[in-house]
Amino acid sequence: MTEIEGAPRPAPIGERIVVVGSSCSGKSTLAEALGERLSLPFVELDALFWRPNWQEPPDDEFRAALLSATDGERWVVAGNYLRHTMPVVWPRADTVVWLDLPLPTVTWRVLRRSWRRWRTNELLWGTNHERFWDQLKLWDTRHSLIAFNVKNHRRRRHLMEAAMRHPHWSETTFVRLRTSREVAAFLEGQGALSVPAAG
């Protein structure tokens, strides 16, 4: 396992990349930008997962979709779904990029993005619309991304740190980025374009 903290300099990251992190940490933004810079197919797991009316797919259907989407030799995947992706996608990945941003940062992003999506009635993944006021239900981890992030922040950090130390992932490069500045520097190291604003 190779661990890169803060991506202080350009480093080879391969052609099969997984980007993980809290909701609104910028996973899709970074993964899509990496795909553009490195000419890699971009796979957004939320688009594979969510059905109309925010219904979840059966496990076997989602697993089949994951296998199909990452069947090629080159791709960049944005999203967690670790119960599914760690056994299906991670074993083929060269690099896992972990956006380990602070809770205040991702909380503000949730509010800003959800407000924008709600006000513009943005259609998500061709099937759903976001409800802004649900984000303020801090007791409801199913509907509030803020509550979900708070509940899972420490558990995800422990899980990721354990994965980085585990011999099973000894051939995988982990890039841990803790600030927006580190994310921007990492992206700059992969090409000449400037970092886009995270959603």
146: CATH: 3.40.50.300
- Position 127 in a domain: yes
> How far is the C-alpha of 11 from the C-alpha of 164, rounded, in Å?
17
- Per the domain annotation, does 198 fall within a domain? no
Residue 196 belongs to some domain of the structure: no
- For residue 194, being part of any structural domain is answered with no
Would residue 199 count as lying in a domain? no
| 126 inside domain | yes
Q: Tokens 């619309």 sit at which residue?
A: 129
- Tell me, what's the pLDDT at 172? 94
Q: Helix (H, G, I), strand (E, B), or coil: what is residue 99?
A: strand
In a domain, 193, yes or no: no
Domain enclosing residue 38, as ranges: 2-188
Q: Any idea what the Cα angle at residue 133 is, between residues 129 and 136, rounded to 5°? A: 130
What does the alpha-carbon distance between residue 156 and residue 154 come to, in Å, rounded to a whole number?
A: 5
pLDDT for position 1: 47
Q: Which token pair is 155?
A: 């558990």
Task: Considering only CA atoms, give the Rg of the chain.
Answer: 16
Secondary structure of residue 155 in the 3-state scheme: helix
Residue 111 pLDDT: 84
Listed in sequence order, the DSSP H helices in 141-179 are 145-165
By CB atoms closer than 10 A (0-12, 13-18, 19+), residue 68 is exposed
Q: What is the pLDDT of residue 7?
A: 53
| Spatial CB neighbours of 60, under 8 Å, sequence gap ≥ 6 | none
| Cα–Cα distance measured from residue 134 to residue 5, given in angstroms and rounded to the nearest whole number | 35
Would you state the pLDDT for residue 107?
Answer: 86
Neighbours of 41 (CB within 10 A): 13
As for how many domains the chain has, the answer is 1
Predicted confidence at residue 11, as pLDDT, reads: 59
Amino acid 191: pLDDT:
64
Q: pTM, whole model, 2 decimals?
A: 0.85
The answer to whether residue 32 sits within a structural domain is yes
φ and ψ at residue 130, rounded to 5 degrees: -90, 145
Q: Which residues of the chain have pLDDT under 50?
A: 1, 8, 192-199
Per the CB < 8 A criterion, the answer to whether 173 and 4 are in contact is yes
